[in-house]
Amino acid sequence: MQARITNPAQVLPGAMPAILDLIKATKEGGVPESTLELVHLRASQINGCAPCVFGGIASSRKHGVSEDKLATVVAWREAPYFSDDERAALALAEASTRLADRADAVPDEIWDEAARHFDEKGLSALVLMIAVTNLFNRLNATTRQVAGATW
């Protein structure tokens, strides 16, 4: 596989710094970085973004996510390794990534469960991380970026 073009976030001046600023902002919401990494990884799996899955696994390890969680995040509902707050964050990530799967893209049940575990700042951090992940996934898939390639 070969990339069609350089990642657009690198081509346009200011794009990558703006995206990185959003990612930096997600870390100010009080959500553990390991949870943000799991959210990133799960959304990237759903979107089939190999570069983000590849990078997400490396970053998750760096932020202390266990090998058991990395191996089972794709099946987090059935795996015993996830805390209730991680499960709420992963459910929110899935719903927010699969917007067209149902009429009510993010049902109250999913939102309310996330809100039981995270305050407004935490929810904001999660929503931003999910959105930035989906942005990266779309940039990478559209331009066929290669997993493991350095920018």
Mean predicted lDDT score pLDDT of the chain:
96
| The CATH homologous superfamily of the domain defined by 16-143 | AhpD-like (1.20.1290.10)
The mean per-residue pLDDT over the stretch 30-48 comes to: 98
Share of the chain above pLDDT 70, in %: 99
Burial 66-86 (b: 16+ CB within 10 A, else e): eeebbebbeebeeeeebeebb
Q: Which of 19, 36, 18 is nearest to 27 (CA)?
A: 36
Q: Please give the span between the terminal C-alpha atoms of the chain, in angstroms, as a whole number.
A: 16
96-137 per-position pLDDT tens digit: 999 999 999 999 999 999 999 999 999 999 999 999 999 999
57 with 41: CB under 8 angstroms? Answer: yes
